[in-house]
Amino acid sequence: MITFFRQFYLRKHFFLYWSLLIILYCVAFAFPWLVYVANVCLVSFLGIFLLDIFVLFLSKSKIEAKRIVVSQLSLGDENIVRIQITSKYKLPVSLRIIDELPYQLQIRDFEYFMSLNPGETKELQYKIKPKFRGAYEFDNINIYISSVLKLAEKRLKVPAYELVKVYPSILQMKKYELQVFSKTAIFQGIKKVRRIGNNNEFEQIKNYVQGDDIRTINWKATSRKGELMVNQYQEERSQQVYCIIDKSRSMKMPFEGLTLLDHAINSALVLSNIILRKGDKAGVITFSDKIGAQVPAESTSSQLRRIMDTLYNQKTKFMESNYEKLYYGTRSVIKGRSMILLFTNFESMYALKRNINLLRRINQNHLLVVVFFENTELAKVKEMETKNVKDVYFKTMARKFSIEKEQIAFELRKYGIQSILTKPEELSVNTINKYLEIKSRGMI
């Protein structure tokens, strides 16, 4: 009996019909002949109500449900979750479905409606967009069942506890991998740059295509084939490329629902996958006030998994970046000349000048590329219409800070340090293009 009351709910249709019966009885006081009609309606209503309860609770029919979700969700991407529902009832039923989602998603209004015929199976799909890395707990699936009479409903709690982990964006990694190694990459923002034979290691003779260096034309093969043929040289492989990620408080700034640290982590995973696919060695280092996680550069088959597991656990520290510790850390961890992509965020020339000497010393031993971010919110302020003195002030300051970002990039180039000033949403494309450019020019 206790179980019955826990599962039993009245629907709004019940209260609607009950209200109409009360009104009918009230009218019957003025018109006594309506009492008989009201009694017939009451008996009919109670009979239908009991029949509804019998269909829902006393029959052996049931609803089966199963949630299908991947074991690894992608940070900042839309991930699809599916719920398969099968009806074992012998009559059509209506369902109200409430899935108990992880608290990190902050979704409080999840509710879906569905109708099922006898023996029918349907699949419900919805999308979630995680904005934090970590473990996400899915709990029970709550299904409220009602018959065609819609007077009562039965609550069914389907145990469906499941723990899934949100990793740096695996979907972005696969998307950019496809773009880099496909013929249509140039239409997706990826600049495919061919190696021009800087190491003179001959690979093959092939047809000339737009973008090949005319200095590599093989005139003998061209005369034999009657069309332009060029020598192709093999890329130099097994070079070390490190992604160094700043975890200081400057990387806590949010853009597009993710912090700059999350954008950097997603991009580091994407780039590491491209590096490994290109035959180079990928490594990762994190730092803030001290050196954090370290994954030495390797090109083994399990390297990408090690990088992914390492990036999964990184969190922003509310400390100042210590570039002196970074300099000595790179000297002890990184063996041999390497390409270093430093993901950080300089907001002022003062912040850069405090650390420029240390960056120059790192650049003497390695090829350093400093990756920092445009403030896209300031870009909106720069373009706004001014209506008063306050708006003029905000617009002027926004332009000042934007120009200062460009001055930081110029200052880095002045000392021979490569730089990428990018919007957070364009980070992965720009870092991939810089890596391909440096590879093509043989700068490592």
Query: Which pLDDT does position 265 carry in this prediction?
Result: 93
Q: Would you put residue 284 in left (φ > 0), alpha (ψ -120 to 50) or beta?
A: beta
Task: Determine what percent of the chain is predicted with pLDDT higher than 70.
Answer: 90
Quote the CA–CA distance of 270 and 262 in Å, as a whole number: 12
Quote the CA–CA distance of 28 and 20 in Å, as a whole number: 12
For residue 199, pLDDT over 50 is answered with no
The one-letter amino acid at 136 = Y
Query: Which pLDDT does position 9 carry in this prediction?
Result: 66
Identify the CA nearest to 315 among candidates 298, 331, 292, 341. Answer: 292
Highest mean pLDDT among 170-174, 185-189, 277-281: 277-281
Lowest mean pLDDT among 36-50, 74-88, 113-127: 36-50
Q: How confident is the model at residue 59 (pLDDT cuts 50, 70, 90)?
A: low
Domains of the chain with bracketed CATH: 1-167 (2.60.40.10), 170-191+236-441 (3.40.50.410), 202-233 (no CATH)
Q: Between residues 392 and 128, which one has the greater pLDDT?
A: 128
Query: Which pLDDT does position 32 carry in this prediction?
Result: 76
**Average of per-residue pLDDT across 347-374:** 92
Identify the CA nearest to 138 among candidates 98, 167, 169. Answer: 98
Q: Tokens 């980070």 correspond to what residue? A: 427
In sequence order, the β-bridge partners of residue 282 are 241, 298
For residue 406, pLDDT over 60 is answered with yes
Mean of all residue pLDDT scores within the chain? 84
The pairing of strands 240-246 and 229-233 is unpaired
Identify the CA nearest to 210 among candidates 226, 194, 225, 221. Answer: 194
Q: Which residues of 102-118 are buried (b: 16+ CB within 10 A; e: fewer)?
A: bebeeeeeeeeebebee
Query: Which pLDDT does position 19 carry in this prediction?
Result: 82
The pairing of strands 339-343 and 367-373 is parallel
**Average of per-residue pLDDT across 365-383:** 85
How far apart, in Å, do the first and last CA atoms of the chain sit? 76
Cα 381 to its chain centre, rounded Å, is 27
Quote the CA–CA distance of 411 and 369 in Å, as a whole number: 13
**Residues 417-426: pLDDT tens digits?**
999 999 888 8
Query: Which pLDDT does position 198 carry in this prediction?
Result: 47
Q: For the chain, give the number of residues.
A: 444
The answer for residues whose C-beta is within 8 angstroms of residue 47's C-beta and 6 or more apart is: none
Angle, helices 427-441/170-180, rounded to nearest 10 degrees: 40
Identify the CA nearest to 303 among candidates 241, 365, 244. Answer: 241
Q: Between residues 21 and 267, which one has the greater pLDDT?
A: 267
For residue 5, pLDDT over 80 is answered with no
Q: How confident is the model at residue 202 (pLDDT cuts 50, 70, 90)?
A: low
Query: Which pLDDT does position 193 carry in this prediction?
Result: 54
Query: Which CA distances in Å does 344 have to 136, 263, 323, 354, 409?
Result: 28, 11, 11, 14, 13
Q: How confident is the model at residue 287 (pLDDT cuts 50, 70, 90)?
A: very high
Q: How confident is the model at residue 234 (pLDDT cuts 50, 70, 90)?
A: low
Q: Strand ranges (DSSP E) for 131-209?
A: 134-138, 141-146, 152-158, 162-167, 202-207
